[in-house]
Amino acid sequence: MKWVTIWGNAQSICVPEPQRYAKDLTLRYPIFVPFDGDKIRITLDNFLIDEEVFINYISIGISDRLSDEVINNIGYLTFDGKRNVSIKAHSYIKSDPFDIKLNSDSYLMVSIYLKDFTNLCGGVDIKGPLSKGYFGYGDMGLLNKLDINKSKSTSWVYFLSNIDLYTSDNNYSVICYGDSITSQDWPDYMLLSLRENGIKNISVVRKAVSGTRILRQYDCITYQSYGLKGENRFMHEVSSVMGAKAVIVQQGINDIIHPVGTDINIFRPLSDLPTKDELIGGINYYKKISESLNLEFIVGTLLPIYNWRTFEDFREELKNSFNKDLKKNYNCIDFSKEVSYLYGGIYRFKEGYDSGDHLHPSKQAYKMMGILASKKIINDLLK
């Protein structure tokens, strides 16, 4: 038996709003359970917030669906034997192990209650067919169902970093690391594709933040939600995942499309635009860290940007050159090949594969990416 992370999230700062604090608030997250286990522990992370966070309690339960409904109330998590817990600034904390029988394909329901004013800036936005969250005004952590008049769904996840399950030795996790494309649907579809292929001993742990870059980061509140550069986040996020065998990195597009010049955007100087070799240097940094953690290192090619609002020929050339290096020199999933076609030297989304903004894939394309990623894991790790 061993600890394996069955679910995870990267750490970032929320899109800035005038209201930074919340009180008398319940957060509820249904977490898909990919395999059986008999105890859990969770990690709460305050990595990017510069003040202490206090949580009154965390209750857990079991459900059979992706909703706010708890079928079986179980009890409270504790931290050093106490129900309430404080997380110091730029720190994290693990709960005590909690005995609970979890079965594959069920949902662990995690409810967090914040009684007093709490800095609610530490969070990330995630989406996908296995991803959901809720918040409600008032103390609802022990309710089987949130009050419909005082609650609603949210795609933002606060404080929760990892959920570990004590499980069989033949179970393990795979990490998906990246930006908004990875914070959206394809990791969920990857897990579903694995299960459709009869692979039920793998969890998929997402560590992604919208807007992040490999080489740069923003220090202004305008773009604070775009998170840390790779050097400042990769080790923190990847090393925390228990029982991991591989990491899939799909990142670099924001390094290419963000810099526009200070005459257009004061926070996005054109000098931030990297060379292909600099981007590859960032990938090599990820690879070195991954190998030090005994993780199989896999990269995914970048997707089309044609007709995105900052599209220019020089960005297309940089992207294509970067992708060429990835395919030649690394263990690579060629996402671009499957979701795009080449016309006039420019890659464009295939029909039905563009979400509409000419940068993010459609649901159909995300499903294809998930299938490709699952095939790579099956071929590389299971044969």
Residue 125: strand pairing partners? 156
Q: According to the model, what pLDDT value does residue 22 have? A: 92
From 194, 190, 281, select the one nearest 229 (Cα to Cα): 281
pTM value is 0.96
Q: Tokens 């918040």 appear where?
A: 135
Alpha carbons 328 and 332: distance in angstroms, whole number: 8
Alpha carbons 178 and 10: distance in angstroms, whole number: 9
Contact criterion met (CB below 8 Å) for 112 and 6:
no
Decide if domain 171-381 falls under CATH 3.30.930.10.
Answer: no
Query: Rounded to the nearest 10 degrees, what angle do helices 313-329 and 276-292 cross at?
Result: 40
Token pair recorded at residue 97: 């192990």
H-helix or E-strand spanning residue 87: strand 85-87
Residue 166: strand pairing partners? 3, 39
Three-class SS state of 318: helix
- Band of residue 16 on the pLDDT scale cut at 50, 70, 90: confident
Token pair recorded at residue 375: 């095939």
AA identity, residue 383 = K
H-helix or E-strand spanning residue 37: strand 37-45
Cα separation values, 336 from 15, 180, 346, Å: 29, 16, 12
Q: Which residues have CB under 8 Å from 168's CB, separation 6+? A: 1, 35, 36, 37, 201
AA identity, residue 163 = I
Q: Which residues have CB under 8 Å from 255's CB, separation 6+? A: 213, 214, 215, 216, 272, 273, 274, 279, 282
Question: Structural domain boundaries of the chain?
Answer: 2-164, 171-381
pLDDT digits (tens, 9 = 90+) for 211-261: 999 999 999 999 999 999 999 999 999 999 999 999 999 999 999 999 999
pLDDT digits (tens, 9 = 90+) for 278-319: 999 999 999 999 999 999 999 999 999 999 999 999 999 999
